Amino acid sequence: MSKRRTNDAPMPIGECITQLQKCLRERLCRQQPPSRLEASEAQHKHLLELLKRTAVHGESNSVLIVGPRGTGKTALLKCVLRELLQEKEVQKNLLHVHLSGLLQTDDRIALKEITRQLNLENVVGDKVFGSFAENLAFLLEALKKGDRSRTRPVLFVLDEFDLFAHHKNQTLLYNLLDVSQSAQAPVAVVGLTCRLDVLELLEKRVKSRFSHRQIHLLSSLSFTQYLDRVRSQLSLSDGFPDRKFAEDWNASVQNLCEDKSVEEVLRRHFHSSKDFRSLHVLLMLCVSRVSVVNPTIKPADVLEASRLCFSDAKSNILHGLSILELCLVIAMKHLNDVYEGEPFNLQMVHNEFKKFLQRKSNSVYNFEQAVIMKAFERLQQLELIRPVDGSSARTQREYQLMRLALDHSQIMEALQKYPQCPTDIKQWGMSVFG
For 158-195, how does the pLDDT look when each residue is reduced to its tens digit (9 = 90+)?
999 999 999 888 888 988 888 888 767 788 999 999 99
Parallel, antiparallel, or unpaired: how do β-strands 187-193 and 61-66 relate? parallel
Mean pLDDT calculated for residue range 268-275: 82
Under 8 Å CB-to-CB from 265, ≥6 apart: which residues?
302, 303, 306
214 beta partners: 64
Query: pLDDT tens for residues 188-227?
Result: 999 999 998 899 999 999 999 898 899 998 877 788 888 8
- Residues 314, 405 contacting (CB under 8 angstroms): yes
Contacts of 238 (CB under 8 A, 6+ apart): 246
Q: Give me the mean pLDDT over the 321-332 stretch.
A: 89
Tens-digit pLDDT profile for residues 49-80: 999 988 888 888 999 999 888 788 888 898 89
Mean pLDDT, all residues of the chain: 83
Amino acid sitting at position 392: S
**pLDDT, position 361:** 61
What is the mean predicted confidence (pLDDT) over 244-253?
A: 90
Residue 252 pLDDT level (bands cut at 50, 70, 90): very high
What's the rounded mean pLDDT across residues 236-244?
Answer: 86
Whole-number percent of the chain with pLDDT over 90: 14
pLDDT at 36 over 80: no
Mean pLDDT over residues 353-366, rounded?
76
pLDDT band, residue 392 (cuts 50/70/90): low
Return the minimum-mean-pLDDT range out of 154-158, 384-388, 415-419: 415-419
Of residues 165, 193, 183, 235, the one with CA closest to residue 77: 193
What pLDDT, on the 0 to 100 scale, is given for residue 3? Answer: 43
Average pLDDT over residues 301-321: 82
pLDDT of 192: 94
pLDDT confidence band for 406 (50 / 70 / 90): confident
Residue 125's pLDDT band (cuts 50, 70, 90): low
In this predicted model, which residue has the larger pLDDT, 318 or 207?
Answer: 207
pLDDT at 5 over 60: no
For residues 46 and 91, the model is more confident at: 46
Instruction: Please state the three-class secondary structure of the chain as a single string.
Output: CHHHHHHHCCCCHHHHHHHHHHHHHHHHCCCCCCCCCCCCHHHHHHHHHHHHHHHHHCCCEEEEEECCCCCCHHHHHHHHHHHHCCCHHHHHHCEEEEEECCCCCCHHHHHHHHHHHCCCHHHHCCCCCCCHHHHHHHHHHCCECCCCCCECCEEEEEECHHHHCCCHHHHHHHHHHHHHHHCCCCEEEEEEECCCCHHHHCCHHHHCCCCCCEEECCCCCCHHHHHHHHHHHHCCCCCCCCHHHHHHHHHHHHHHHHCHHHHHHHHHHHHHCCCHHHHHHHHHHHHCCCCCCCCCCCHHHHHHHHHHHCCCHHHHHHCCCCHHHHHHHHHHHHHHHHHCCCCECHHHHHHHHHHHHHHHCCHHHCCCHHHHHHHHHHHHHCCCEEECCCCCCCCCHHHCCEEECCCHHHHHHHHHHCCCCCHHHHHHHHCCCC
- Indicate if the pLDDT at residue 30 is higher than 80: no
